[in-house]
Amino acid sequence: MAAAAWASAFLYSLLHTANTFSLPLCHGNALGQFFCEIPQILKLSCSKSYLRELGLIAISAFLGLSSFVFIVFSYVQIFRAVLRIPSEQGRHKAFSTCLPHLAVVSLFLSTAAFAHLKPPSISSPSLDLSLSVLYTVLPPALNPLIYSLRNQELKAAVWRLMTGWFQ
**pTM above threshold 0.85:** no
Number of domains forming the structure of the chain: 2
> By residue range, what is the domain housing residue 76?
1-84
Question: Along the chain (167 residues), what's the average pLDDT of each consecutive run of 10 residues?
Answer: 78 80 70 63 67 74 81 86 87 78 79 74 75 78 73 72 70
DSSP the chain: -HHHHHHHHHHHHHHHHHHHHTSPB-S-S--SSSS--HHHHHHHB-S--HHHHHHHHHHHHHHHHHHHHHHHHHHHHHHHHHHT-SSHHHHHHHHHHHHHHHHHHHHHHHHHHHHHHS-GGG--HHHHHHHHHHHHHHHHHHHHHHHHTTSHHHHHHHHHHHHHHT-
**What's the pLDDT at 16?**
76
Same domain, 94 and 69: no
Same domain, 6 and 78: yes
Same domain, 71 and 123: no
Question: Final residue of a domain: which of 84, 118, 137?
Answer: 84
Question: Final residue of a domain: which of 84, 104, 138?
Answer: 84
Same domain, 65 and 8: yes
Question: Final residue of a domain: which of 84, 114, 146?
Answer: 84
